[in-house]
Structure 1
């Protein structure tokens, strides 16, 4: 569920996952600009999808909308 919109971005409630098609390019770039978030993405990439319901890397879903973006993040320290 969307709680509110702030600065053109989407703020989510705790139990909501937004679909990648609803993420703007600016929001995606802002997210991967943060080194802590990039570290989390790399850590999630090494885990099976079933490891945790709350945090999982939705690589194929994001790749449909932002081709190659997560690959760049994953290759950063490879």
Structure 2
């Protein structure tokens, strides 16, 4: 069951509520895939301000919400910063190999297209 305990706590789906169609939808957007790739490469949490997406702040907020509500990332407040972490362990348990395959494909595409 998804719960919110306070105004500073964000709702996340429980592990057993994460659905493949929601994860695939979240990963299908290039901006969201950029966020996931950066989180996968990070050694820990990253604040929202670490991401330099070529979209408005409200659109960036939307992308983070889609990733969180689909179960791809976990967001927590640390002081005034909203920190983001990939829910890799849970995703790997639910969908073994999916994240690795998608990230590898995104890396190959970025190399092929000359993206960073």
- RMSD over equivalenced CA pairs, Å: 2.3
Return structure 1 stretches of 4+ with deviation > 6 angstroms.
Answer: none
Highest RCO, 1 vs 2 (Cα 8 Å, sep ≥ 6) = 2
Q: Which residue of 2 aligns with 1:8?
A: none
Change in 2 beyond 3 A, CA 1:31/1:51: closer
Give the alignment's TM-score, normalised by structure 2: 0.49
Q: How is 1:1-78 mapped onto 2 (pairs within 5 angstroms)?
A: 1=2, 15-52=10-47, 53=76, 54-76=83-105, 77-78=107-108
Aligned residue-pair number: 68
Over alpha carbons, which structure has the higher Rg?
Answer: 2
Q: What runs of 5+ residues in structure 2 fail to find an aligned partner?
A: 48-75, 77-82, 109-116
